[in-house]
Amino acid sequence: MDLQGAKVLVVGMKRSGMAAISLLASQGAVLRATDLQTLSALPEARELLERLGVPFERQSPAVFEGCDAIVLSPDVPADLPPLVAARERGVAVLGDLELAAPLLLGKTIGVTGSNGKTTTTSLIGHILSTAKVPVQVGGNIGTPVSAMVENSRRGQWNVLELSSFQLETIQTFRAHVGVALNVTQNHLDRHHTFEQYAAAKGRLFETQRAGDMAVLNHDDPTCASYAARGPGTVRWFSLLRRFSPGASLAGDEMLLDGRPLLNIKDIPIRGRHNVQNVMAAAIASARAGVSRESIASGVLTFRAVEHRLEFVRNIRGVDFYNDSKATSVDATLKALDAFPGGLWVILGGKDKGLDFEPLRAPLAQKARGAMLIGAAAQKIASQLEDAVPLVHSGTLDAAVEYAWGRAISGDTILLAPACASFDQFKSFEHRGEVFKELVNALKEE
């Protein structure tokens, strides 16, 4: 749409919303902004809006009137009644991804999945950067897509982490390479059913064009179903079957297009799920023109992303790992799979409508105890009863103190909560930072 002179309402004044305001202002739109919070509670947004002269109103049904278009931040549900009514009036309702797409120069690699998006997106960016391929990384991590437009150039790659919240509203956004890592239960409090959640992620492949590439996990039935969603050429990766072209295993050797790439024992990030992430990153990087030697070199020099199975410290033989990004049951299962045993696991936070029963067997096998924190503690306890010793710690500091007081050399204290952070923390990053501060304050003696 032509943004010059268009009356646009931006909903949500966090990072993505502020980036959308700046982009729309540069395109000559007539702007208004809204949020559920007051502007006094949003100091960064207040400074931006005052500087650009953009009026702000607290969110209400009336604020959605009188618009040519409404731009949503990813955390704003697309099915709010005022948005449904706006669409019925013919108002364009789009997310920040769809807003930025026509203005983003260069080609795009889009990465989605329930778990591993940040690691895989960051790894692809690292591989391309170390191979001297022009690249910028953003989306659901780091830089919002709207803020990437200014630095985009023809001949470069934009590597984007894409959430279901961003993808559910796209219409014309195109990923030249689309990657789906896995799809497991998550965000049911937002999408209501698993089918709607999976469909949102599948939009990434529906908007591709002939000649684009769909990089899909053959071991995940939902990801595999995306092969029929769009016209992109499919490239499979699998831990279980051999594919060429594609990425597979031959013993401990990872194969890319049927030829050895690297030994998976040399991958510097823990967990079998990260083998799949490396496979996906390798296929996408090869599509971007990186040689197999440079791909292998990039993988071997990559380090774990903060808050994703991040090693924090070893004290008296006890390891501490921060996986605060494990905000779903499946993410916690992958974290548990990365360790042989001797675990003290910190679980809990804000429930997203998930079933914690799948944690029973791995906790019974590998954990000495589970410390429960936050609003979901009682639900988790009811579903994990008798599987593992449970401790109602309530808070993160109490959980760390309890585990540290009982762990022995060789044990691991693991923050992998299986829940969102918003009951006690501002974000999963905030939760992870607090965990690391608590661990680093522990005394050796």
Confidence of residue 270 (pLDDT cuts 50, 70, 90): confident
Q: Got the DSSP string for 259-316?
A: EEEEEGGG-SS-SHHHHHHHHHHHHHHHHTT--HHHHHHHHHT--PPTTSSEEEEEET
The amino acid at 92: A
**268-291: average pLDDT:** 95
74: its two tokens: 């990813």
**70-81: average pLDDT:** 92
- Predicted pLDDT at 299: 98
Q: Which of 12, 6, 19, 28 is nearest to 97 (CA)?
A: 19
- Predicted pLDDT at 445: 62
* 196-205 per-position pLDDT tens digit: 999 999 999 9
Please check the confidence at residue 188 and state whether its pLDDT lies above 80. Answer: no
**392-396: average pLDDT:** 97
**172-196: average pLDDT:** 86
Please check the confidence at residue 82 and state whether its pLDDT lies above 80. Answer: yes
- Predicted pLDDT at 390: 98
Q: Got the DSSP string for 355-402?
A: --GGGHHHHHHHEEEEEEESTTHHHHHHHHTTTS-EEEEESHHHHHHH
Please check the confidence at residue 339 and state whether its pLDDT lies above 90. Answer: yes
254: its two tokens: 């990872």
Ordered by where they begin, the domains of the chain are 7-98 (3.40.50.720), 104-300 (3.40.1190.10), 310-440 (3.90.190.20)
Q: What span, in angstroms and rounded, lies between the C-alpha atoms of 113 and 131? A: 25
Q: Which of 225, 152, 232, 164 is nearest to 192 (CA)?
A: 164
Q: Of 63-77, 175-189, 211-225, 382-396, where does mean pLDDT reach its minimum?
A: 175-189
* 133-166 per-position pLDDT tens digit: 999 999 988 899 999 999 999 999 999 999 998 9
| Residue scoring higher pLDDT (2 or 440) | 440
**How many C-beta atoms lie closer than 10 Å to residue 354's C-beta?**
25
Confidence of residue 184 (pLDDT cuts 50, 70, 90): confident
Residues whose CB is less than 8 angstroms from the CB of residue 105 and which lie 6 or more positions away in sequence, other chains included: 149, 152, 153, 154, 156
Cα Rg, the chain, nearest whole Å = 22
Residues whose CB is less than 8 angstroms from the CB of residue 98 and which lie 6 or more positions away in sequence, other chains included: 169, 170, 171, 172, 173
- Predicted pLDDT at 190: 67
| Residue scoring higher pLDDT (365 or 305) | 365
Cis peptide preceding 82, ω within 30 of 0: no
* 217-243 per-position pLDDT tens digit: 999 999 999 999 999 999 999 999 999
Please check the confidence at residue 80 and state whether its pLDDT lies above 70. Answer: yes
